[in-house]
């Protein structure tokens, strides 16, 4: 399906920031619950306690509102990459920056769940925005993580094993979102306390460091085996 068009830029009225924010919050909740096609602009406007014309004023149309909800509910790729891609960072610092991008939204409670549900609906009922997200958001962040791993593994050029490792490390953070409801049922104590996310941060960094160390050892053994065969 063709991607939704970008919303036109218009000046905000005096109360524009509040009205626009209410529309984004209402749109997130209703698009996540019903999907793009079934969520009505009238229902969104009523939930935001504003008139339906405000959607046209701030976003152009329903598609523009959906696009804003989809992309503005998350940080920009550049901001997220800056958390972990700095060449001055140790591996532990880089991983902490990476997982901060996953864990900080969870402190917002229902907003994170709604964002996850919205992304799931977009994958099932695509408007074109999920493919755009992969191209402009997920892929650059993956490539930045691969570069970090190459640097700490001493690898000049990424191969499939480095990219596989990057997928696995990021997967720990992704599961914090997609698996949250399951975790709350099968291991409810893991997310029960205010400090739970801080403990998750420490453990995720530790687990990811162990994965990098395991890959480093595997590479050394492989290099030694090649060297032995040449002798």
Burial grade of 225 (CB within 10 A; 0-12, 13-18, 19 or more): exposed
Per-residue pLDDT of 174-221, as tens digits, reads 999 999 999 999 999 999 998 999 999 999 999 999 999 999 999 999
What residues contact 149, with CB distance under 8 A and at least 6 apart?
Answer: 155, 158, 162, 165, 166, 169, 212
Same domain, 145 and 51: no
pLDDT at site 229:
83
pLDDT at site 16:
60
Same domain, 208 and 139: yes
Same domain, 122 and 145: yes
Domain assignment present for 5: no
Count structural domains, the chain: 2
Which among 45, 71, 97 is the end of a domain? 71
What residues contact 125, with CB distance under 8 A and at least 6 apart?
Answer: 35, 36, 37
Domain assignment present for 1: no
Residue 75: CB atoms within 10 A of its CB come to 15
Domain assignment present for 34: yes
pLDDT at 13 over 90: no
pTM value is 0.86
Mean pLDDT of 16-45: 93
Which among 56, 71, 86 is the end of a domain? 71
pLDDT at 2 over 50: no
Per-residue pLDDT of 39-65, as tens digits, reads 999 999 999 999 999 999 999 999 999
Per-residue pLDDT of 127-171, as tens digits, reads 999 999 999 999 999 999 999 999 999 999 999 999 999 999 999
pLDDT at 67 over 50: yes
Per-residue pLDDT of 95-124, as tens digits, reads 999 999 999 999 888 888 899 999 999 999
Same domain, 66 and 133: no
Highest mean pLDDT among 11-15, 40-44, 70-74: 40-44
- The CATH number of whichever domain residue 50 belongs to comes to 1.10.10.60
- Domain that includes residue 63, residue range: 16-71
pLDDT at site 15:
60
In terms of Cα–Cα distance, which of 7, 144, 4 is closest to 78? 144
In terms of Cα–Cα distance, which of 26, 82, 14, 76 is closest to 50? 26
Degrees, nearest 5: CA angle 124-65-73: 70
Same domain, 62 and 111: no
């Amino acid at each position: 399906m063709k991607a939704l068009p970008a919303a036109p830029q218009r000046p905000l009225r005096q109360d524009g920031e509040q009205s626009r924010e209410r529309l984004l919050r209402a749109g997130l909740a209703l698009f996540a619950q019903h999907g793009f096609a079934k969520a009505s602009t009238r229902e969104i406007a009523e939930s935001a306690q504003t008139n339906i014309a405000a959607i046209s004023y701030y976003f152009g149309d329903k598609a523009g509102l959906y696009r804003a909800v989809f992309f503005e509910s998350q940080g920009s790729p550049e901001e997220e990459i800056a958390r972990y891609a700095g060449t001055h960072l140790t591996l532990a610092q880089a991983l902490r920056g990476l997982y901060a991008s996953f864990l900080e939204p969870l402190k917002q409670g229902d907003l994170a769940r709604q964002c996850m549900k919205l992304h799931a609906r977009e994958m099932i009922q695509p408007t074109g925005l999920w493919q755009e997200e992969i191209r402009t958001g997920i892929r650059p962040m993956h490539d930045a993580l691969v570069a970090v791993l190459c640097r700490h593994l001493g690898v000049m050029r990424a191969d499939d094993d480095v990219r596989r490792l990057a997928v696995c490390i990021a997967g720990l953070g992704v599961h914090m979102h997609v698996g949250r409801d399951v975790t709350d049922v099968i291991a409810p104590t893991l997310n029960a306390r205010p400090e739970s996310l801080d403990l998750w941060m420490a453990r995720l960094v530790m687990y990811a460091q162990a994965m990098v160390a395991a890959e480093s050892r595997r590479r050394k053994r492989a290099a030694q085996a090649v060297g032995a065969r040449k002798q």
